[in-house]
Structure 1
Amino acid sequence: MDCPTCEASVDAYVDGELSARESAAFEQALTACPECRRRLQTARTIGGLLRDLPAERAPDLLRARLERDLRASASEPLAQVHRWRRRSAMAASLIVAVGVGWLAGTLTSQGGRQSDEMIASYLRVAMAETPVEVASSDRHTVKPWFAGRIDYAPPVHDLTADGFPLMGGRLDVVAGRKVAVLVYRRNQHRVVLSLWPASAGDNVSPTVTQRDGFALAEWRHAGFGMRAVSDISPGEMSSFAAALDRAVDTDR
């Protein structure tokens, strides 16, 4: 099993969806792939957080919709069914968590509200059927899309040359404010960048931290506050922030 196949098999391995032969090949491939081992640890961490959620009965309407969609999925290819079930299970769990205030309480006490907001923004992208609302690597397509939707024009740059191609943009709400979000790709991973006009004008170098398998970056550059989150390594996150700053400076 090569490294890309190993990385793509992480979720199926955690969910027990691989055959005995596939599981053995996956475990053997792990010994030669540090990135896959880190990806596996992230998946297990998220799974553990979800298993710790309070057991609340789902609303009848939600239960009915899930049962309907499960029946409809019976005719779909097996891989599609597995992906749909993982996405539905995570979405349902997070709906319950928000309903009982778990994300606002337990996670805040463990790592800080700001980190929680960043990870929640990443999860909204990861769970979405379409992770971006405008899908393009062309800045001249993505940047105009924000016009009229928010009250500022975010800097938009494709970072393909640095290994972080732009997937597109979307809107999110952070601390009660609607903000621009750009989604980049790093191999099989997504990097979710939120940015808004900064109250202070001086630049602040990126601070990169790690929590629960996620790399978190926060900095201020060229009049914008920036936050980025992904399940890539902290070193890769530092490279992403540096590449973005260079692109912004080149455009000024």
Structure 2
Amino acid sequence: MPRYLDNEVSDAEARNIHAHLLTCTACAAELATLVRLKLALRSAHLRFEPSPALRRKVLMQIRPPRRMTWRRIWFPAIPAAFAVLLLGLAIRYWPATNRNMFGEITDLHVATLASANPVDVVSSDKHTVKPWFEGRIPFAFELPELKGTDFTLLGGRVAYLHQAPAAQLIYGAGLHRISVFVFQDRPELQLDMLKHAVGAIDYTYVFYSSSEEGLHFVLVGSVDSKKVQRLGQLIFEANKR
């Protein structure tokens, strides 16, 4: 299960595990526990951040000796050693990339579906769900009309990404569930990196991302990509002003 959560399994293994999770409550509960632990560690920022003094010390250690007899030996190695150092720091401490952001949002989606109480407001009526968020998040949004579509609104809850509140709406598409995250488009969340995520697939999860009027919408679900995009378009159109 930890390997599945960290995207360390093959596509075929991921599909098999996902299918198993839909029918096994014990494994779904185990996954939910792991996701909650992962989210807690992320929110606590439990990672090593090298200080400027440490960086200077490391750089000093990889500098070549000043003795002339060694200069020819060390000179070709300087760029290589420096590049390795920078590459290591970049891989370890670089801000979230597209894949990391996808992983964080997928974790929220999986944790919600695996929870005993996935939503805090249970209703298929948008006029009940939308007002529930008033006073709970610092922005407003609109929900689309679903009449004549294959989608059903199931409810919503408040989610958090890097301590920023978001509205998480759960929609049904047949037996599948799609999470719609509505974020305030804040620079520190780096949501711009998701703008090219339309139809992108990360193992069994499909993403759709768009922004409108200071809001950013991210959809994730294990369902046909066309359905995710269709729901995303409905959400996007409902929030056009």
* TM-score of the aligned structures, taking structure 1 as reference length: 0.58
SS in 2 for 1:207: coil
Residues 201-216 of structure 1 mapped to structure 2, 5 A cutoff = 207-216=198-207
The change in CA–CA distance for 1:89 and 1:163 in structure 2 (over 3 A counts) is same
Offset, 1:166 = 0.8
Q: Is the 8 A contact 2:166 2:184 kept in 1?
A: no
Offset, 1:164 = 1.3
SS in 1 for 2:217: strand
The change in CA–CA distance for 1:199 and 1:111 in structure 2 (over 3 A counts) is closer
- Structure 2, unmatched stretches of 5+, are 1-11, 48-90, 188-194
SS in 2 for 1:208: coil
Offset, 1:117 = 1.6
SS in 2 for 1:238: helix
Is 1:192 the counterpart of 2:179? The answer is yes
Q: Is the 8 A contact 1:205 1:220 kept in 2?
A: no
What are the superposed Cα offsets for residues 147-172 of structure 1, whole Å, 9 maximum, x if unpaired?
11111122223424221111111000
What are the superposed Cα offsets for residues 193-239 of structure 1, whole Å, 9 maximum, x if unpaired?
11123359xxx787220011100111112432111100012222111
CA distance in 2, matches of 1:140, 1:185: 17
Is 1:44 the counterpart of 2:35? The answer is no
Report the AA paired with residue 216 of structure 2: G
Alignment partner for residue 143 of structure 1, among 130, 145, 160? 130
SS in 2 for 1:236: helix
Offset, 1:46 = 4.8
Is 1:232 the counterpart of 2:204? The answer is no
Alignment partner for residue 88 of structure 1, among 9, 29, 42? 29
Residues 16-165 of structure 1 mapped to structure 2, 5 A cutoff = 42-44=14-16, 46=18, 83-95=24-36, 112-165=99-152
Report the AA paired with residue 176 of structure 1: Q
Per residue, is there more helix in 1 or in 2?
1
Root-mean-square deviation over aligned CA pairs: 3.6
CA distance in 1, matches of 2:41, 2:237: 43
CA distance in 1, matches of 2:33, 2:17: 18
What are the superposed Cα offsets for residues 80-100 of structure 1, whole Å, 9 maximum, x if unpaired?
xx7432332223343565678
Report the AA paired with residue 221 of structure 1: E
SS in 2 for 1:241: helix
The structure number with the bigger radius of gyration is: 2
Q: Is the 8 A contact 1:206 1:220 kept in 2?
A: no
CA distance in 2, matches of 1:217, 1:187: 19
What are the superposed Cα offsets for residues 14-53 of structure 1, whole Å, 9 maximum, x if unpaired?
xxxxxxxxxxxxxxxxxxxxxxxxxx865425589x9xxx
Report the AA paired with residue 29 of structure 2: S
CA distance in 2, matches of 1:246, 1:110: 28
Is 1:247 the counterpart of 2:226? The answer is no
Alignment length, in residue pairs?
174
Percent identity between matched residues is 20
Report the AA paired with residue 16 of structure 2: R
* TM-score of the aligned structures, taking structure 2 as reference length: 0.60
